[in-house]
Amino acid sequence: MPVQPLVKSQPCESITELEPLGMDPESIQRDYKRHFNYTLGRDRDCRSAHYAYTALGLAVRDRIMERWRDTRHLCSTSLCKQAYYLSMEFLLGRTLGNAMLNLGLKDVATRALYELGIEMEELIEIEPDAGLGNGGLGRLAACFLDSCATLELPVMGYGIRYEYGMFRQVIDNGYQVEEPDHWLRNGNVWELERPELTVRLRFGGRTEVISDGNGGIQRVRWVDTHDILAVPFDVPIPGYHNDTVNTLRLWKSMATDEFDLEEFNAGDYPEAVAAKNTAEQISLVLYPNDTSENGKELRLRQQYFLASASLQDVLRRWVWTHGEDFSQFADKNAFQLNDTHPAIAVPELMRLLMDEHGLGWDEAWSITTRTMAYTNHTLLPEALEKWPVRLFRQLLPRLLEIIYEINARFLAEVDKRWPGDGERLARMSLIEEGHEPQVRMAYLAIVGSFSVNGVAALHSRLLTEGLFRDFYELWPHKFNNKTNGITPRRWLAWANPELSALITETLGEGWVTDLNRLRELAPLAGKPKFQKRWQEIRQHNRQRLIDFVARETGVEIPANFMLDVQVKRIHEYKRQLLNILHVIHLYDRIKRGDVADWTPRAVIIGGKAAPGYLMAKKIIKLINNVAQVVNSDPDTEGLLRVVFLPNYRVSAMEVICAGADLSEQISTAGKEASGTGNMKFMMNGALTIGTLDGANIEILEEVGEEHFFLFGLTAAQVEEMRRHYDPMAFINRDEDLSRVMRLLETGHFNRFEPGIFDDIIGSVKNPHDPWMTAADFRSYVEAQKQAAARFRDQKAWTRSSILNTAASGRFSTDRTISEYNQDIWKLTPLHQLR
Ligand SMILES: *Cc1c(COP(=O)(O)O)cnc(C)c1O
């Protein structure tokens, strides 16, 4: 669809000449009132805080606009290299507070509203989370965008504008119930629709070969397709205090007009209108699976929708400025694939370059393999995407042809390197043969990319030794590590304003963009005066979390309790079950009267289960039932509280990570690729109890063993033990664990619902339990004892807390993104172009 100018004449320059908007309280107040009265048409009788929120959002957005335009112009006129972050998920959370923080408007706007009798905190709470992601992978994408803009790197995010984001979780009788999240219901001030940039894409149909008539170049046409439109919505991504505003472009699917007409002419008007739904379904809803794929056709449609729309968008911009000359394309563009979800971009870029732009195979392949880079996010085999060849043939026949051709050429290369090694060829083939042949998306991504990275040191090493070993032997130079991070703007400066103020008072402003400066806090960790300030602030944040828990669940937690927190997606490998076994052990100790030197604690667990993941849902039920029994037993008064915190999400984590004392990072070693929740807690001064898994290892390296409660088998020990694992031996040998299992087996936590926890009990006792819960129980309990003892010594705890924050600098996404840029993207920061 060509760009449609709204008016025939060219708009004159003067239209875009603007006076910069004031950044002072008076100007904000004036614009706030203007939007409230004129843009939204409200008056003093308006009782809905929604309009107040929207008016402020618009006033802040106005101040983003000129910076956004200038960043855009700089990128396009400088012809600089750009990178594109392709991700099916961007877990953005709320935008208003972050935008004000990054623009330096937070205090100014708070004052401006205060004078009008409006509390900023109330308005902040109006905004729904943009929950366009499941968990860590989607949140990482959001943190990356913040760091790219802050580092002034020309990086654009591409994603899907799901009408329904991550479901809202409510708990009914201890069970998870999913409710749809219609987050756009009240409008969204943080997006701009760009209908003039609509892209067309195809599904279905068949391919035909056409020659140029003189037996010359043959080209393939993809015909008889069902086409749909992708309409972009742009979300501004402001950098921190730097006038750079990058773009996140989210695609919404729409029916084409002729799609309607075709059927209309056949006399089926209602059918035609109804058919629009199929097209519009594509961007309707986020799939709520965190770590497993379920092979649904609609999901493959979504993946192709994202990849094709985004690539066409980039190629269109290229042709506008360079014409059909692609010789420099690979030097000026890089695509980062966030997991295999957008890996179909590899054959799609080939298709677009060959079929739409007339390039030959070799030239197209050279461009593709110099622009694509792939990030792997998991070692779990069930999360590795495979799509049935049959589905590809039906939905994307042209792409299947290209994948076959890529595979044939690739296998020829393997055969040259290892002649006659048939087993290796079968192992490495992009097509898994069998009853239902499948396309292995991770292999497609590796073959099509010049860079393959894992997300923590251990994870990247395990990839080269295990899952991708054959590919590592073939192309060792492609493989690298990029340890994840989190943005310190949202996760410290915004989430913890009191601690941030203390840090700024102590170190000056620079730490927000140079997080290694937190190291300078270390010498103060033992100083009584500084400890006192630290403790007062932490107590304030702890109380904020306690109040949040009371509001959300009704459970009251006394102010002196240790806040022991595990929030993350519910998954067996993350071992919420191990946590709850420890809770049952603590409860058992209370009932036995073994409470000498007790540390009162509240165990807070939160997280969503994929709706189809029955074991995860059972674990939620178990946590709720244990909480019910423990909290209603008078013997636990003043000693133990257990809470399941419903609807875990980004805005909740902003409160949780600032208030937590103990961070639970207890996955089976070798299973958590990196984790980023662990970093949010550490940065805010929580101590970690954790296994040697993912980035925990690097956290431990930075902070030192004394300030981290380490337990459990190593990844190597887990693999070794797998062959002769005997959970019953662990249970029988350990009196505490036996008692815990007995409480479960006698139905102590399910008096009126017999049998509901049988699968859970069975999983702990199963010699094939991949998560080895029983094996780690004893060392977990011992580490918990150490944590409890440290908490009773508040001076020692506070020192460790300060040292954790001081050692967290490495986990800023500014560091991660600098590494991506140095090793993979090689972009010039915009400030060097201004
Ligand atoms: C950080 C974050 C995650 C990732 O947590 P892990 O502990 O690394 O699994 C998931 N969900 C939300 C809402 C987050 O903020």
Please tell me the distance between residue 569's alpha carbon and the centre of ligand 1 in angstroms.
Answer: 7
Distance of CA 383 to the CA centre of its chain: 15
CA nearest neighbour of 166 among 187, 183, 188 = 183
Catalytic, out of 63, 161, 301, 377: 377
Tokens of 657: 């990570």
CA nearest neighbour of 545 among 472, 496, 616 = 496
Which residue puts its alpha carbon closest to atom 9 of ligand 1?
568
pLDDT reported for residue 265: 65
Q: Which residue has the tokens 């709850």?
A: 580
> Does residue 501 share a domain with residue 427?
no
HSE-CB of 802 using CA atoms within 13 angstroms: 26
Question: Does residue 488 have its Cβ closer than 6 Å to ligand 1?
Answer: no
Does the active-site annotation cover 680?
Answer: yes
Please tell me the distance between residue 134's alpha carbon and the centre of ligand 1 in angstroms.
Answer: 9
> Does residue 353 share a domain with residue 305?
yes
> Does residue 823 share a domain with residue 782?
no
Which residue puts its alpha carbon closest to atom 8 of ligand 1?
675
Ligand 1 atom with the smallest distance to the CA of 574 is: 9
pTM value is 0.97
Which residue puts its alpha carbon closest to atom 6 of ligand 1?
677
Q: DSSP states of 64-94 as a string?
A: HHHHHHHHHHHHHHHT--EEEEE-S-EEEE-
The residue segments making up the domain with residue 146 are: 79-94+129-483+819-828
Question: Does residue 139 have its Cβ closer than 6 Å to ligand 1?
Answer: yes
pLDDT reported for residue 278: 83
> Does residue 162 share a domain with residue 45?
no
Long-range contacts from 627-630, C-beta under 8 angstroms, 24+ separation: 627/555, 628/174, 628/749, 629/587, 629/748, 629/749, 630/583, 630/587
Tokens of 419: 């002649």
> Does residue 84 share a domain with residue 72?
no
Question: Does residue 650 have its Cβ closer than 6 Å to ligand 1?
Answer: yes
Does the active-site annotation cover 676?
Answer: yes
Question: Does residue 478 have its Cβ closer than 6 Å to ligand 1?
Answer: no
Q: Which 3-state string (H, E, C) describes 273-314? A: HHHHHHHHHCCCECCCCCCCCCCCHHHHHHHHHHHHHHHHHH
> Does residue 285 share a domain with residue 153?
yes
> Does residue 552 share a domain with residue 476?
no
HSE-CB of 525 using CA atoms within 13 angstroms: 21
Ligand 1 atom with the smallest distance to the CA of 648 is: 13
Tokens of 649: 């999400």
Does the active-site annotation cover 377?
Answer: yes
Reduced to 3 states, what is the DSSP secondary structure of residue 670?
Answer: coil
CA nearest neighbour of 822 among 233, 83, 140, 285 = 83
Q: Give the DSSP H or E segment for 238.
A: strand 226-238
In a domain, 644, yes or no: yes
Which residues on neighbouring strands pair with residue 267, listed in sequence order? none
Cβ atoms of 791 and 563 within 8 Å: the answer is: no
Cβ atoms of 676 and 484 within 8 Å: the answer is: yes
Question: Does residue 679 have its Cβ closer than 6 Å to ligand 1?
Answer: no
Question: Does residue 135 have its Cβ closer than 6 Å to ligand 1?
Answer: yes
> Does residue 779 share a domain with residue 630?
yes
pLDDT reported for residue 609: 98
Please tell me the distance between residue 679's alpha carbon and the centre of ligand 1 in angstroms.
Answer: 10
DSSP 810: G
> Does residue 277 share a domain with residue 166?
yes
Given a cut of 50, the residues of the chain with pLDDT beneath it are 1-3, 5
User: What's the domain count of the chain?
Assistant: 3
pLDDT reported for residue 2: 46
Question: Does residue 682 have its Cβ closer than 6 Å to ligand 1?
Answer: no
Catalytic, out of 351, 569, 618, 641: 569
In a domain, 16, yes or no: no
Please tell me the distance between residue 364's alpha carbon and the centre of ligand 1 in angstroms.
Answer: 38
Does the active-site annotation cover 574?
Answer: yes
Ligand 1 atom with the smallest distance to the CA of 486 is: 1
In a domain, 731, yes or no: yes
In a domain, 325, yes or no: yes
Please tell me the distance between residue 648's alpha carbon and the centre of ligand 1 in angstroms.
Answer: 9
> Does residue 501 share a domain with residue 639?
yes
> Does residue 462 share a domain with residue 499?
no
In a domain, 1, yes or no: no
pLDDT reported for residue 77: 87
CATH number of the domain at 628, please.
Answer: 3.40.50.2000
> In whole angstroms, what is the distance from residue 435 CA to residue 815 CA?
46
Distance of CA 445 to the CA centre of its chain: 20
In a domain, 8, yes or no: no
Reduced to 3 states, what is the DSSP secondary structure of residue 777?
Answer: helix
In a domain, 266, yes or no: yes
In tens, the pLDDT along 79-97 reads: 899 999 999 999 999 999 9
CA nearest neighbour of 585 among 791, 790, 773 = 773
Catalytic, out of 459, 618, 680, 707: 680
Question: Does residue 675 have its Cβ closer than 6 Å to ligand 1?
Answer: yes
Ligand 1 atom with the smallest distance to the CA of 675 is: 8
> In whole angstroms, what is the distance from residue 56 CA to residue 67 CA?
18
> Does residue 334 share a domain with residue 479?
yes
Question: Does residue 350 have its Cβ closer than 6 Å to ligand 1?
Answer: no
In a domain, 802, yes or no: yes
